Amino acid sequence: MKIKNSENYIKWQKSFERETKIDLSEASSETDEGIKIKPVYTKADIENLSFVDNDSLPGQLPYTRGPKASMYTNRPWTIRQYAGFSTAEESNEFYKKNLKSGQKGLSVAFDLPTHRGYDSDDDLVMGDVGKAGVAIDTVEDMKILFNDIPLDEMSVSMTMNGAVLPVLSSFVVAGEEQNVNKNLLSGTIQNDILKEFMVRNTYIYPPDPSMKIVADIIEFTSKEMPKFNSISISGYHMQEAGADNVLELAYTLADGMEYVRAALSKGLDIDDFAPRLSFFFAIGTDFFMEIAKLRAARTLWYKIMKDFGAKDERSMILRTHCQTSGVSLTEKDPYNNIIRTSYEALSAILGGTQSLHTNSFDEAIALPTDESARIARNTQLILQNETGVTNTIDPLAGSYFIESLTDELSKKAWEIIEEIESLGGMTKAVKAGVPKLKIEESATKKQAKVDSGSRVVVGVNKFKNPKEPKVDVRVIDNNRVREDQIKKINDIKASRDQKAVDESLAKLVAAAKEDSNLLACSIDAIKNRATVGEVSKALEQVYGRHFATSLSVSGVYGKHFEGNKDYMNVAKKVNTFEEENGRRPRVLIVKMGQDGHDRGAKIVATSFADMGFDVDMGPLFQSPKDVAKDAIENDVHAIGVSTLAAGHKTLVPELMKSLKKIDPNSKIVVFVGGVIPEQDYDFLYENNISAIFGPGSNIIESAETVIDLISDKIHKNN
């Protein structure tokens, strides 16, 4: 007898409809991914699934239930906390302290100048040195970073894409000078440049030469570094930029397919390199969706690699690192973030991750303190040692809901993968801007749901704390770090063999022109004490530096607020302004310095435009002088500065000085949004900032504040 026609099911349906006053046919909810979630699932929901095999077992194809037969019953996931800040000396001390406290692997965060291939003495990076990661200018910094940490015993993950050649080269040389041959080095280099063009923007070169660099690294490491993972194909930053789980899953796997093709173009056999490919996913607040996503990822990757002709089973296994969501963390009522991170971590574990980073609760405010980092690490230790989650493999397998959701995610992701393939693969899709626009549309929809209240964020738009707690934050003295780095650079340049440096950089340029392997040449240059910036600029002579065209979606935010009183009130104020002044209020939204995280800036630009503002979106990586010049030349009423990388105390005052220098009578309103500790508010206000909007700020309320500030300034001047 069919379950839905059974006596018990009909009895349950009547009870449900009586209790809820809702017809069962109308009771489903819909996720961001467009997946209908029913109130109840039965055995019928897991019959005739498209991708999921209900009889599969852990460690067996298609690896839905995990890449290993024993999973955590034999060895728990690796606790791999991502960290790095200030100087190599300070980060080294932080690493050693964490390793003593139970951390099992290192994951290095580099500062933005390093990511973008600039040395710390470059004028373009004055506000970014040491701020969002550790500054690495030469191999000497890398050696300090791993001082007293044996590289033949410790697995090291490095989040690096733009300046991947000099940074990986520095790691190799640091190992050699620690008497560790490169064939003994273990760990992972992210080396995932395609997602940089989609969301994170720490690229240096255009897409085609960037893909050549990826392929060169896969080729070199497959031959010379058998224990090292040559790439970590990352969906994490896509979700952080606003992608829903289907987009994150599909685009990540489509990126993986493109990297496989790049490696095959080098003449490599797929089974020579595929076993060392790894992945990196974000884990957000949709608990069951995230579990299903990891299961679907393994299922689909098996299919993809089989289609590529892989024979070695290890080539078909998707192994992944996961990190809890940063964008889910809130500045308001921040201790709630400990709870969010805990269940995100549990979701990753139930999904079968191989390693995990748990975010610190204060990361929506500033870099983690030692205490908040300890809580984040202990979250994993408690899960490993106190909850029993390591006793059973894939405990949710067989769940009608989880199996059905895994299959539904797989189907939707596969449709998008096929769409990307029809465009000629991910490199061509990225050049056309397709993934970037879809992710930005998804991000805008998510923000609109929060601002409209249809998505509850505890402590932000509901259940607000009437007395916000004070939180201690880590403070980085940017000027001190930069001065220290510049001194080290000068000392190395004074003591090195300049002729050897010049010759090795010339060989690197020749290799780029001749299409030879670039990593081998980069290692020689770094060994001779060339800097990260010098290696990057040598390649720039051949490839140029990439500058993205800024595109944005429209109408997506506004359609969630039809008839909304607050939204209509702001739109009315904008219309009144236009009637009184002959033009709409014009706002320039900008990023300054090397911070490429533009999710917040894009959402503000889109939503303000939907409310009627005339919005200009400045290009990435502008200097304060460039922003001031653009603002005055385009006669804007206000500048909105988006900052996530802690450079606000340097860059914002420089912007204010530049405005006054160009136009002493400038009446432009300047407001700032992003990750700004409350203790910095007074400093910014003293520098004549008109408003500050922290993470979680309601955009409609922020827009009303901005239009009021602009109107007040004009009335005062009249």
Enzyme catalytic residues: 82, 236-237, 591, 595, 597
Could you give the CA distance from residue 435 to residue 251 in angstroms, rounded to a whole number? 8
The answer to whether 326 and 346 are in contact (CB under 8 A) is: no
Could you give the CA distance from residue 108 to residue 41 in angstroms, rounded to a whole number? 43
Integer CA distances (angstroms), 660 to 226, 624, 630, in order: 57, 12, 14
- Alpha-helical segments (H) within 116-190: 139-145, 164-176
Find residue 100's DSSP bridge partners: none
The answer to whether 499 and 670 are in contact (CB under 8 A) is: no
Angle of helix 370-386 versus helix 336-351 axis, rounded to 10: 40
Tokens 């998008």, residue located: 416
Could you give the CA distance from residue 327 to residue 696 in angstroms, rounded to a whole number? 10
Could you give the CA distance from residue 16 to residue 23 in angstroms, rounded to a whole number? 9
Strands across the sheet containing 669-674: 614-617, 586-591, 638-643, 669-674, 691-693
Could you give the CA distance from residue 54 to residue 295 in angstroms, rounded to a whole number? 12
The answer to whether 451 and 700 are in contact (CB under 8 A) is: yes
- As to burial, measured by CB atoms within 10 angstroms (0-12 exposed, 13-18 middle, 19+ buried), residue 539 is buried
DSSP state of 644: -
- What pairing do the DSSP bridges indicate for beta strands 29-30 and 320-324? unpaired
The answer to whether 501 and 528 are in contact (CB under 8 A) is: yes
Task: Give ∠ CA 309-276-406 in degrees, rounded to 5.
Answer: 70
The pair of structure tokens assigned to 476 is 């980085």
Alpha carbon 29 to its chain's center: 28
The answer to whether 531 and 137 are in contact (CB under 8 A) is: yes
Integer CA distances (angstroms), 621 to 7, 84, 202, 517, 651, in order: 65, 22, 10, 30, 12
398 Cβ contact partners less than 8 Å away, ≥ 6 residues apart: 54
Could you give the CA distance from residue 52 to residue 300 in angstroms, rounded to a whole number? 9
Question: What is the dihedral sign for C-alpha 191, 197, 202, 207?
Answer: positive
Find residue 82's DSSP bridge partners: 107
Tokens 């202990």, residue located: 378
Residue 458's identity, in one-letter code, is V
- Alpha-helical segments (H) within 136-244: 139-145, 164-176, 194-195, 207-224, 236-240
The answer to whether 147 and 397 are in contact (CB under 8 A) is: no
Could you give the CA distance from residue 670 to residue 683 in angstroms, rounded to a whole number? 14
The answer to whether 645 and 112 are in contact (CB under 8 A) is: yes
The answer to whether 207 and 197 are in contact (CB under 8 A) is: yes
Closest-CA residue to 637 (of 698, 692, 707): 707
Residue 655's identity, in one-letter code, is L
Q: Quickly count: other Cβ atoms within 10 Å of residue 10's Cβ.
A: 11
